[in-house]
Amino acid sequence: MAREPGVWLSSPARVRELSRAWRARGERIAFVPTMGYLHDGHLSLVERAARSAKRVVVSVFVNPLQFEARADLASYPRDLAGDRRLLGQARVDAVFAPSAAAFYRPANVTRVAVTGIGERLEGAYRPGHFTGVATVVTKLLHVVEPDQLWLGQKDAQQVALLTRMVEDLDLAVDVRVGPTVREADGLAMSSRNARLTVRERAQAPLLFAALQAGRASLLARGAGPLARRVLAAERAMRAVIARAPLARLDYARLVDAKTFDAPGPGTRAGLLVVAARFPSARLIDNLKVSLGPAR
Amino acid sequence: MAREPGVWLSSPARVRELSRAWRARGERIAFVPTMGYLHDGHLSLVERAARSAKRVVVSVFVNPLQFEARADLASYPRDLAGDRRLLGQARVDAVFAPSAAAFYRPANVTRVAVTGIGERLEGAYRPGHFTGVATVVTKLLHVVEPDQLWLGQKDAQQVALLTRMVEDLDLAVDVRVGPTVREADGLAMSSRNARLTVRERAQAPLLFAALQAGRASLLARGAGPLARRVLAAERAMRAVIARAPLARLDYARLVDAKTFDAPGPGTRAGLLVVAARFPSARLIDNLKVSLGPAR
């Protein structure tokens, strides 16, 4: 099933018009929001989206609202020509790429905030970040009006937060999650990886190694009390990150995959999460874990 | 054009299903959100909605999120049987009346906030009120997916706030406004009027009288500097409210109708707004004014 190369649009009204025409024909629409500088992680999401829906819309928009630091926004990697080439080869029907000035008019003052989960971990380390994410995704969903919203597991807290938001706000969209795509040495693909120096890049796989050590610790102590197993897994993760002299650890935690709180009696799935700052980029990664037979 | 009496639904999924079926047939959908205890103001909105769209959906939902005080929520007047009777005689296709427990599940933590305008006047006197309003209207729009959102001018700041929100969040809906419906003595119709004692009710028309005095003051000083005319109009309004011994004034202001800031060089339309607390109910009212030849 070949598709025409996707049409690039900057007008919300044009995108909605296309989407409504497809819906009127009974065609299912999948939406993949991105900030561009696309890598195999994004393309894997696009492929999954294309397999599960007749129409695929991708957005390419570096959302100023989700960057707490202007420097981080300014240095976020951009390569629109590369994105055009990659999406031209992918099964994409439309690309929505608005300008920041047009998408956020000066008078705009409305924000979508997810309390609780939005304030923990990434929310605490990046104040305002998740409000920026929730606001832009709400806007994008209103423009694209898709049946499915495709997100990458790499940003696990974003997935949990947007899943919560979609349910809380009665948004008529299914949240679908694609697995993290990794380099051969385990480093999770991320547009930010492009900023790493050679020495930082050499140490970056220790994030994934830390997650694996956390999982191994959990498995080894499968019979102990949960609180103690959690502490041991977090200690094991920290020990691995300590082997990366260029990395400063923000957190290495085992959390409830849905709420991002500490695991408790109501926890169904656990998640190991890690965040570390290298001088050139801050990286995050995560790994789902079973909390095992002790529960 | 007779309509069947509207079907009452509590399930968001059922309402959306109906709405999408209408949209698929190319029928325009108007939506009138209410908190029930319907009066002629609501019915006038419903009539206008029915004249401008083939389908009319009304919601009846006392939104707990927009009441800062539990006592105010508990004492908000309710009369579902009366609402059913009135809507049964009106040109309404569907009534969405969810239960609070089903519409806000316990895990719900997402809020829509409109900063700036949402923090002034009513926002300052009723902390959290407008976040509750913005959140519930976002949810209702996601359920009903209407072409038009019908609001009453009586709640002018709510109109300005939701107009801002719809634009900021790219919601695909036209905001339409119906004029304030008044009793013979000028009192703006409001569900809260039902709470007034006989003595309070006798003094309540002074809110509208105050607005008229403010307008008269503006007209009388049509040639003076704007700031001085604003102060005089506000003074004139306060003087009228002072004649109501049971009323405690919250504010009597002349504001920019769009931003609810003090009128400035960018102001296109002015609005006189007044809020006063009687022992049994807090009342608000407003009147559009031209800022006249001096500008």
CATH code of the domain covering residue B69: 3.40.50.620
Q: Are residues A115 and A71 in the same domain?
A: yes
Are A202 and A73 members of one domain? no
Coil, helix or strand for B142?
helix
| A292 pLDDT more than 80 | no
Q: What are phi and psi of B148, to 5 degrees?
A: -130, 140
ipTM of the complex: 0.94
Last residue of a domain, one of B150, B178, B206: B178
Considering only CB atoms, which chain B residues are within 8 Å of A143? 170
Window from A5-9, B11-15, B238-242, B287-291 with minimum mean pLDDT: A5-9
pLDDT at A69: 84
Q: Cα distance from B186 to chain A (closest Cα, Å)?
A: 35
- Quick check: is B127 in a domain? yes
pLDDT at A16 over 60: yes
pLDDT at res. B295: 42
Domain range for B245 is: 191-289
B129 annotated active-site: no
According to DSSP, the β-strands at A7-9 and A110-114 are unpaired
A170: which chain B residues are within 8 Å (Cβ-Cβ)?
12, 139, 142-143
The answer, for A16 touching chain B at a CB cutoff of 8 Å, is yes
- Residue B203 inside a domain? The answer is yes
Do A50 and A159 lie in a common domain? yes
Count Cβ–Cβ pairs < 8 Å, chain A vs chain B. 87
Mean of per-residue pLDDT scores for chain B: 95
Q: Does residue A295 belong to any structural domain of this protein?
A: no
| pLDDT at residue B141, as a whole number | 98
Residue B204 lies in a domain: yes
Interchain contact, B142 vs A111, CB within 8 Å: no
Residue of B nearest to A110 (CA): B114
Q: Report the sign of the C-alpha dihedral through residues B250, B255, B261, B263, in that order.
A: negative
pLDDT band at A5 (very low <50, low <70, confident <90, very high): low
Q: What is the pLDDT of residue B5?
A: 64
CB A136 within 8 Å of CB A66: yes
Do B116 and B62 lie in a common domain? yes
Q: Which residue of B has its CA nearest to A117?
A: B109
Do A200 and A245 lie in a common domain? Answer: yes
Residue B184 lies in a domain: no
B148-162 mean pLDDT: 98
Per-residue pLDDT of B39-66, as tens digits, reads 999 999 999 999 999 999 999 999 999 9
Percent of chain A with pLDDT over 70: 97
- Choose among A109, A139, A170: nearest Cβ to B170: A139
Task: Give the pLDDT confidence score for residue B268 in this predicted structure.
Answer: 84
pLDDT: is B293 or A212 the higher one?
A212
Q: What pLDDT, on a 0 to 100 scale, did the predictor assign at position B54?
A: 98
A18 plus A83 within the same structural domain: yes
- For residue B203, pLDDT over 50 is answered with yes
Q: Judge: B110–A169 Cβ closer than 8 Å, yes or no.
A: yes
Pairwise CB contact (< 8 Å): A169 & B116? no
Residues B97 and B230 in one domain: no
Mean pLDDT computed over A177-192: 98
Residues 134-163, chain B, touching A (beta carbon < 8 A): 134-135, 138-139, 142-143, 145
| pLDDT 10s digits, B60-103 | 999 999 998 888 899 899 999 999 999 999 999 999 999 999 99
- Label residue A181 by pLDDT band (50, 70, 90): very high
Residues of chain B contacting residue A108, judged by C-beta atoms under 8 Å apart: 167-168
Query: Rounded CA gap, A35 and A73, in Å?
Result: 11
Report if residue A184 sits inside a domain.
no
pLDDT tens for each residue of A130-171: 999 999 999 999 999 999 999 999 999 999 999 999 999 999
| Token pair 């049946």: residue | A147
Q: Which residues in chain A (161-220) have CB-CB distances under 8 A to chain B? A: 164-165, 167-172
Instruction: Choose among A144, A64, A55, A46: nearest CA to A101.
Output: A64
pLDDT of residue B229: 94
What domain count does chain A have?
A: 2
> Domain boundary at B132, B147, B178, which?
B178
Tell me, what's the pLDDT at B221? Answer: 82
Contact A110 B165 (CB under 8 A): yes
Closest to B132 (Cα-Cα) out of B69, B39, B189, B56: B69
pLDDT band at residue A293, thresholds of 50, 70 and 90? low
CATH for A263: 3.30.1300.10
Boundary-marking domain end, from A131, A150, A178: A178
- pLDDT of A234 above 60: yes
Residue A211 backbone dihedrals phi, psi, to 5 degrees:
-60, -40
| B136 vs A contacts (CB less than 8 Å) | none
Residue A167 with chain B: CB contacts under 8 Å: 105, 107-108
> B168 and B55: one domain?
yes
My answer on whether B168 and B205 are in the same domain is: no
pLDDT at A58 over 70: yes
Which residue of B63, B170, B256, B261 to mutate against A (max A Cβ within 10 Å)? B170
If asked whether residues A172 and A195 sit together in one domain, one would say no
Looking at the domain assignment, is residue B152 inside a domain?
A: yes
**Domain check: are A215 and A145 in the same one?**
no
For B272, the enclosing helix (H) or strand (E) is: strand B270-277
How does pLDDT run across B255-277, given as a tens digit for each residue? 999 999 999 888 989 999 999 99
**B2: confidence class by pLDDT, cuts 50, 70, 90:** very low
The pLDDT, as a whole number, for residue A194 is: 95
Q: What is the mean pLDDT of chain A?
A: 95
Query: What's the CA angle centered on A174, arms A146 and B166, to 5 degrees?
Result: 50
Q: pTM of the prediction?
A: 0.96
Whether the Cβ atoms of residue A156 and residue A286 lie closer than 8 Å to each other = yes
Report pLDDT for B224.
Answer: 82
Render pLDDT for B132-147 as a digit per residue (tens, 0 to 9).
Answer: 999 999 999 999 999 9
The predicted structure's pLDDT at residue A265 = 85
Instruction: Sort B277 into a burial class: Cβ within 10 Å, 0-12 / 13-18 / 19+.
Output: middle
Residue A291: pLDDT band (50, 70, 90) is confident
Are B286 and B156 in contact by the 8 Å Cβ rule? The answer is yes
Position B2 in a domain: no
A48 and A171 fall within a common domain = yes
Local confidence band at A3 (pLDDT 50, 70, 90 cut-offs): low
CB A177 within 8 A of CB A151: yes
Q: If you average pLDDT over residues A80-104, what whole number do you get?
A: 96
Q: What is the pLDDT of residue A4?
A: 59
